[in-house]
Structures are given as structure tokens and as C-alpha cells.
Amino acid sequence: MVMAYEKYYNKIEEKIGTDRFNHCIRVAEKSIYLANIYGVDEEKAEIAGMFHDCCKYKDEEILIKKASKYKILEPYLWSGYRKVLHAKLGAVIAKEKYSIEDEDILNAIYYHTTGRACMSKLEKIVFLADITESSRTYDGVEILRKLEVESLDLAMREALSQSLVKLVGNRAFIAEDTISAYNYYLIRW
Ligand SMILES: [Fe+2]
Ligand SMILES: [Fe+2]
């Protein structure tokens, strides 16, 4: 455990609920595991994992209120973008309230929902840990678990492909960062 940040864990659990907080613990565990494979700082992986959903409040009203307070509501006010909002706000709150200064950790939080082209190793690790942590059971998770220990870029390509298929199938909004991430990892691996 990274002692410097442990003092915030109770507060996060209080804000997002025990289930969501336990998910953060599993994402941190998976992030540490992947960090060790790819030579990434284990502590950074743990912090990014623990804080990635620090603003995923159950009550959307709180999310929107806080986002407007920090003036990051636009263009995320539109309902299609709501899933992304907690990540954008999360990066701001992680810095302002939880004293996280490391840019790579803040970016890993900021981009954990959308991805983006040219992600750092830590960004990819948290993105993948979020969707492959031990309690995930959806169709396609096993191929991601296999790929993420072989190549982060290849796993990103598969993860983004799966995500786009689901989003289009649901006629859901697709963030531009997700599209450019998909194009990037399609030819990158
Ligand atoms: Fe999230
Ligand atoms: Fe998450």
C-alpha cells in the first residue's frame, strides 16, 4: 500500500460506495500485476488504479454539480457523454483534493474511459485493468486477459474494437478520443 495516499481511501469509499471502491482495489491489483510485467512503477500503478473512479458517484446530480463547480461540464453535459464525465472530473479532484501531482497518473485517470492515441504504458495499464479486473465476466474478457500479458498495444486494439462494436450496437455516443485511439492501435501493434 502507498502510505501517502491511504488516508484518502475511507473518503473515497464513502463517496462512491463499497462496491465501487472494491472495484478500485481490484483495478489497483491488476494494474500492479501489469506494471510488473511491463516495467512500470508499481506505486504509480496502484495509485492510478485506486483513484481512477474516485468521482464515480452513485448520484449523477452530485457528479454534475461538482463538474460545474470545477467548470468542466461542457461538452460533457450532454447525456451521451456522461460516462466520460467521472473520468474527467476524477483527474481534477485527484489533483485538487487528493494531492496527486504526477501527470502520468492524472492522465491515466483522465483517459481511463475513452482511451486516446499514443497512450503511455501506465494509461494503457489502467484502461485495461479497469475492464479485465478479476470480477469482470463479459464475453470477450478472456481474450483481453490473454493479450494484455503479451502486448499492451495488441490488447488495446482488441479492447477498443470490442468497445466500438458495443457502442455502435447500442447506438451510443462515441468520444473522438476513442475513435482516434482505435485508429492508432489498429496500425500500431
Ligand atoms: Fe470509470
Ligand atoms: Fe472503473
pLDDT digits (tens, 9 = 90+) for 88-132: 999 999 999 999 999 999 999 999 999 999 999 999 999 999 999
| Residue ranges per structural domain of the chain | 3-138
Quote the ligand 2 centre to 68 CA distance (angstroms): 22
Residue labelled with grid coordinates 500492479: 32
DSSP for 87-103, written as a single string? HHHHHHHHHHTT----H
Structural contact between residues 177 and 85, judged by C-beta atoms closer than 8 angstroms: no
**Burial profile 56-76: b = 16 or more Cβ within 10 angstroms, e = fewer:** bbeeeeebbebbeeeeebeeb
Residue labelled with grid coordinates 458517484: 57
Quote the ligand 1 centre to 126 CA distance (angstroms): 10
pTM over cut 0.85: yes
- How wide is the angle at C-alpha 111 spanned by C-alphas 105 and 114, nearest 5°? 160
Architecture of domain 3-138: Orthogonal Bundle (1.10)
Give per-residue pLDDT as tens, 14-55. 999 999 999 999 999 999 999 999 999 999 999 999 999 999
Quote the ligand 2 centre to 23 CA distance (angstroms): 7
